[in-house]
Structure 1
């Protein structure tokens, strides 16, 4: 199980990197005119980030995480339930980002750059809480 735990942590790092990068991409994407050459480049960058890093990392994190949960039989422990809720929330955040990238590709700019910068803090706060839950197990 140590190899599974190592793989889980490695892919969590990949996932978190993508979760930090995508909203920053959105901020830069917002700054270019819809339909411009730069707009098309940001659409491609966002698609690649989702396709190559975010989507595979999220899937692998869930697979290895569930393996660890079943092996450790953590289902009745409060720290684990709290962690699971946060991971479900981060998965939803991932889904929202994929959806927002599609809106940007259609030329929609629903959120302000300021709001996108604030949303960039979500994965960091969630990760800090998750690490505390897993390590300290309060």
Structure 2
């Protein structure tokens, strides 16, 4: 396998992990937005969401960062404006994921859920990341 083939597979794995990561952040955003309106005991739902986060979203974010860094190094993209902007959005989404994980953990421990309005930002950031990665303006 030559270097170009290696980069294609690295990019494919990076994109697949990014889809899983953004999907997990969107699912958690929806959970946190709808949880205050759910009737009855929502503890099993929160426990399931936390399990999904630990087993799918967290490994996906690790792969996104590792493979994204590998792609940036192999493409010599560090210092380019589009990558800096993309990294800004990725850092913000990563931080939001941390906040969401903490909120789910506190809710599972008995804290009352508060309304979350993060979904529009998550969608905007995901679109911006995709546009920056493909167009490289």
- The residue aligned with 2:95 is 92
- Once residues 47 and 110 of structure 1 are traced to their aligned partners in structure 2, the CA distance between those partners, rounded to angstroms, is 14
- The residue aligned with 1:39 is 42
- The residue aligned with 1:60 is 63
- Once residues 98 and 12 of structure 2 are traced to their aligned partners in structure 1, the CA distance between those partners, rounded to angstroms, is 25
The one of 104, 110, 122 equivalent to 1:101 is 104
Structure 1, unmatched stretches of 5+, are none
- Of the structure 1 ranges 51-60 and 127-136, higher mean CA displacement relative to structure 2 is found in 127-136
- The residue aligned with 1:51 is 54
1:27–1:76 distance in 2 versus 1, CA, 3 Å = closer
- Once residues 133 and 68 of structure 1 are traced to their aligned partners in structure 2, the CA distance between those partners, rounded to angstroms, is 14
- Once residues 6 and 59 of structure 1 are traced to their aligned partners in structure 2, the CA distance between those partners, rounded to angstroms, is 15
- Once residues 48 and 69 of structure 2 are traced to their aligned partners in structure 1, the CA distance between those partners, rounded to angstroms, is 30
Structure 2, unmatched stretches of 5+, are 1-6
Q: How many residues align?
A: 131
- The residue aligned with 1:20 is 26
1:137 CA displacement: 1.8
RMSD over aligned CA atoms reads: 1.6
- The residue aligned with 1:136 is 135
Dislocated runs of 4+, deviation >3 Å: none
- The residue aligned with 1:83 is 86
- The residue aligned with 1:8 is 14
